[in-house]
Amino acid sequence: MLDILRRIVQEVNLAKNLEQALNIIVKRVKKVINVEVCSVFLTNENNNDSEYVLMATDGLNPEAIGKVRMSDKVGLVSLVGKRAEAINIADAEKNPRYQHFPEASEEAFHGFLGVPIIHHRKVLGVLVIQSRKIQKFSEDDETFLITVAAQLAGAIVHAEASGGISGLKQLDDEKEHESKPIHGLPGAPGVAMGTAVVIYPPADIDAIPDRHILDVEKEIKTFDTAVESVVKDIKELSERLKDVLPEEDRALFDVYLLMLNSQAISGTTRDRIREGNWAPGALRQTIQEHEQVFREMEDSYLRERADDVRDLGRRILMHLQKESHDKVDYPDNTVLVGEDISASMLAEIPREKLVGVISVRGSRTSHVAILARAMSIPTVMGATDLPVAKIDSRTIIADGYSGRVFISPSEKIINEFKRLIDEEEALSDELMELRDLPAKTQDGIEISLLVNSGLLSDITPSLQSGAEGIGLYRTEFPFMERQKFPSEEEQHSIYRQVLESFHPRPVTLRTLDVGGDKALPYFPIEEDNPFLGWRGIRITLDHPEIFLVQIRAMIRANIGLNNLKILLPMISDISELNEALGLIHQVYGELLEEGEEVVMPEIGVMIEVPSAVYQAGNLARRVDFLSIGTNDLTQYLLAVDRNNARVASLYDSLHPAVIRAILQVVESARVHGKPVSVCGEMAGDPVAALLLLAMGIDSLSMSVSSLPRVKWVIRNVTRDRARQILSEVLVIEDAKGIRKYLNQTFEDAGMGGLVRAGN
Ligand code: PEP
Ligand code: MG
């Protein structure tokens, strides 16, 4: 059964459009269950009502497709949708909910089984089977249908979102097609509109996107050259193995050669290139199609040939990529799209060409999102339903506020977003005017606004932003860019540059915080639960040789400047702090002994795990300041992985538990007279910043792109008003309610433009 299911899903995923996908579903399911009718109804939302429309059928009158529509008040199908559960009835006609559609010619059918197709809690439609016999379907049929529906929901969303692509040639005609937006997560604020450039890992044939080309002849030549190279490789391989492999085993190579030169592989790929797809995209389509044909064969020997097809595809692809034909020429207004965009991929694109980023995986607190915010690039993360292979070169809009993505949007949507982008620019110019003004409330309370950094390249924008210093310098970034641990001298030079550039403003250097989702290529850590494992201070205390070198480099870099502060990440136990302080004092003493004119910098602890919240007082007593890392604190308090798009709707730093934890930390620090800052992403969220101000946080450290908005908020409220808002928030019981209340408060105060696209 599992095998059948896998094949259906694979086939549906290869469908060129929604219509084809639905037709495959009804045909295959009807055959497997051996029933007379299988149909799919999709939900159509109209204002507050939804109706169910027959979209595909095998068994009912095909003329009825698109015509049979039922409101959610009548009909069995709509009852399945409304209840979001399966309905299995022996004789549908006898049921009071039954609605007769003469155009569907369904009089002859009695047995009815409908199951909902649900994606992310939303009913997308209903999958139905019907039989002539008056009978209840078996439990097996029911569970099979439920499994099929659950597996297909994602594929249906893909097909729907790609806007009914039925071949590359039609791409341009589809401008008018109103495709639904894909919902991802806000990654970096702002709106980007441009051309999608899909980036993919090399030699992964399934990841290759379709790409429109103009010079067909050149592309065919490139493909032929790659095939010739593979032929040559295979002949050489066969020759080399002559003495090792018996003749009959080497026959496989002859099969390969035959396949390579066949119409089925080479001919079909060439045809697809002629239709306007580039060679890797055409090859992907051909290979997937043939693999599918082989996988469906009854004969197990032939079924295994599917692996050979795939292997051949991979070989050709490698040569295509070697011929470096796929060196991307980035268009102006590139929106970078990919399954899992990494920080290094981002760095590959010339900054002046890059306007937006969309990643299928990850969330707001993933590294690439943090980097994108530092570079002020509107970003959508966790766009899990994005049909990546089908959208290269298409016009795309990324709304980094709401997390929506529009593929080949209509003129109407394009114009709407153009207006929003213009308004954004005007707002940005207005905000830039605040650059040299203090972050002071209308009743004269000042709060320091600092930036988060980690790359030497963000120093200039950070300086230009009017920041009062660096509140968090993530030293792991320079560690990540290298092939081995940087030496004391290398580190000294980086830290010195940062400290000098900001002098006399303070710079907080955080000691190495790797582990979790931050890996060093030369220091691999394999763990089942990396966020609960060996990370941050736990690693550096286990490797004092790394920690001591880093502290030496920091303290030496501070000589004559005295604007360094050191911050310790992931402290979850007092003993860790005591040990770290011991090592820092050891380094300080050694440097003094060596005759260096060093001073002891201020030391702070990150409060980012629940145990540190409850021991904030014990920690504060031992150090000079506390800094709350709300990214991890939210993850650990709510038990929600900060990088997992599937649970991202549960991750919100405005959760009442997080707010109360922050209040507790502020109180504990106050008892010991120590300042508290917030350096997680929450600090850069304008609505959250208002609450942090009210709580009495001394400084906020955020990505450079958030700073002007937060400053604007601070300058437009009084602390009393902020406190009043905080007291309202403290009686709301969930994050959604709190966010809604704060957004509305902003709208009412004419500050809506700070929290959504547009002015
Ligand atoms: C945090 O956890 O809030 C934080 C600032 O650190 P990082 O995002 O680097 O884990
Ligand atoms: Mg952290």
User: Which residues sit opposite 508 in a β-bridge?
Assistant: 565
Could you tell me if the CB of 632 is within 6 A of ligand 1? yes
| Residues sharing a CB contact under 8 Å with residue 413, sequence separation 6 or more, in sequence order | 178, 397, 406
The yes-or-no verdict on residue 426 having pLDDT over 90 is no
Nearest residue (CA) to ligand 1, atom 7: 631
CA-nearest of 551, 576, 692 to 630 is 692
Burial of 35 (C-beta count, 10 Å sphere; 0-12/13-18/19+): buried
Could you tell me if the CB of 476 is within 6 A of ligand 1? no
| Residues sharing a CB contact under 8 Å with residue 218, sequence separation 6 or more, in sequence order | none
Tokens of 450: 């600092």
Catalytic residues: 367, 679
pLDDT bin (cut points 50, 70, 90) of residue 307 is confident
Could you tell me if the CB of 510 is within 6 A of ligand 1? no
Could you tell me if the CB of 474 is within 6 A of ligand 1? yes
Q: How far is the CA of 474 from the centre of ligand 2 (A)?
A: 10
Counting ligands in written order, the one closest to the CA of 680 is 1
Buried b (16+ CB within 10 A) or exposed e, 78-110: bbbbeeeebbbbeebeeeeeeeebeebebeebb
Nearest residue (CA) to ligand 1, atom 8: 631
User: Which residues sit opposite 188 in a β-bridge?
Assistant: 379
Query: Is the N-terminal amide bond of 504 cis, ω within 30° of 0?
Result: yes
pLDDT bin (cut points 50, 70, 90) of residue 181 is confident
Atom of ligand 1 lying closest to residue 627 CA: 5
* Cα–Cα dist 311/298, whole Å: 21
pLDDT single digits (tens) 111-168: 999 999 998 888 999 999 999 999 999 999 999 999 889 878 887 777 666 654 333 3
Task: Give all strands of the β-sheet with 185-188 in edge-to-edge order.
Answer: 182-183, 404-407, 395-399, 191-198, 334-338, 354-359, 379-381, 185-188
Task: Report which residue type is found at 702.
Answer: M
Could you tell me if the CB of 468 is within 6 A of ligand 1? no
pLDDT of residue 293: 81
pLDDT of residue 169: 36
Q: 1-15, 359-373, 440-454 — which is least confidently predicted?
A: 1-15
Average pLDDT over all residues of the chain:
88
pTM of the model: 0.75
Q: How far is the CA of 248 from the centre of ligand 1 (A)?
A: 60
Instruction: Name residue, tokens 């300086």.
Output: 463
pLDDT of residue 753: 72
Atom of ligand 1 lying closest to residue 516 CA: 10
Pairing of strands 602-607, 564-568: parallel
pLDDT of residue 327: 58
Tokens of 652: 């919100």
Mean pLDDT of 353-382: 87
Could you tell me if the CB of 516 is within 6 A of ligand 1? no
Could you tell me if the CB of 373 is within 6 A of ligand 1? no
Nearest residue (CA) to ligand 1, atom 6: 629
How many Cα atoms sit within 13 Å of 89 on the Cβ side? 20
Tokens of 604: 């702070």
* Cα–Cα dist 220/200, whole Å: 22
Q: How far is the CA of 713 from the centre of ligand 1 (A)?
A: 23
Nearest residue (CA) to ligand 1, atom 9: 474
Q: How far is the CA of 444 from the centre of ligand 1 (A)?
A: 30
The full set of domains in the chain, from first to last, is: 2-168 (3.30.450.40), 205-327 (1.10.274.10), 449-754 (3.20.20.60)
pLDDT single digits (tens) 6-18: 778 778 877 777 8
Could you tell me if the CB of 631 is within 6 A of ligand 1? yes
Counting ligands in written order, the one closest to the CA of 510 is 1
User: Which residues sit opposite 127 in a β-bridge?
Assistant: 40, 115
Pairing of strands 185-188, 69-71: unpaired
Atom of ligand 1 lying closest to residue 472 CA: 5
Nearest residue (CA) to ligand 1, atom 3: 629
| Range from 276-290, 504-518, 606-620 that averages highest in pLDDT | 606-620
* Cα–Cα dist 386/338, whole Å: 9
pLDDT bin (cut points 50, 70, 90) of residue 629 is very high
pLDDT single digits (tens) 675-685: 999 999 999 99
Give the number of other Cβ atoms within 10 Å of residue 26's Cβ: 22
Counting ligands in written order, the one closest to the CA of 627 is 1
pLDDT single digits (tens) 578-602: 999 999 999 999 999 999 999 999 9
CA 194 vs CA 173, 280, 393, 429, 435: distances in Å = 18, 23, 9, 22, 29
What are φ and ψ of residue 508, in 5° steps? -100, 110
